[in-house]
Amino acid sequence: QKEVEQDPGPLSVPEGAIVSLNCTYSNSAFQYFMWYRQYSRKGPELLMYTYSSGNKEDGRFTAQVDKSSKYISLFIRDSQPSDSATYLCAMSAWGQNFVFGPGTRLSVLP
């Protein structure tokens, strides 16, 4: 079992839809969580950074962490074609480097 898993997609949704992107993990020591957006052949761009469990909202993006289920989510409201990209989750334990998920490819269709 990989340490961090993501549905690779591709996930296709119509413009305006609510998108749910998810990662599961096996290491219960993880407590730092990040979401990145990566456009094709570009560097990953940080979207959200959260510590421990709970929700964090930033504009159209909401990150949720459920440590009891070892499950994190990124919700995108009112999705736009410009949101079409690969979304990477990353997580780490204290003093450890981040482990990245393989990424989910999202296409938002106009």
* Contact set with other proteins (CB under 8 A): 32, 34, 36, 41-46, 49, 88, 90, 92, 94-103
- Of 25 and 100, which CB lies nearer to other proteins in the complex structure? 100
Length of the chain: 110
> Which residues face 107 on adjacent strands?
12
- Of 14 and 43, which CB lies nearer to other proteins in the complex structure? 43
Rounded to a whole number of angstroms, the minimum distance from the CB of residue 90 to other proteins is 8
Rounded to a whole number of angstroms, the minimum distance from the CB of residue 39 to other proteins is 11
3-state secondary structure of 50: strand
- Of 17 and 61, which CB lies nearer to other proteins in the complex structure? 61
Classify each residue of 28-60 as buried b or exposed e, where b means 16 or more C-beta atoms within 10 Å of its C-beta: eebbbbbbbbeeeeeebeebbebeeeeeeeeee
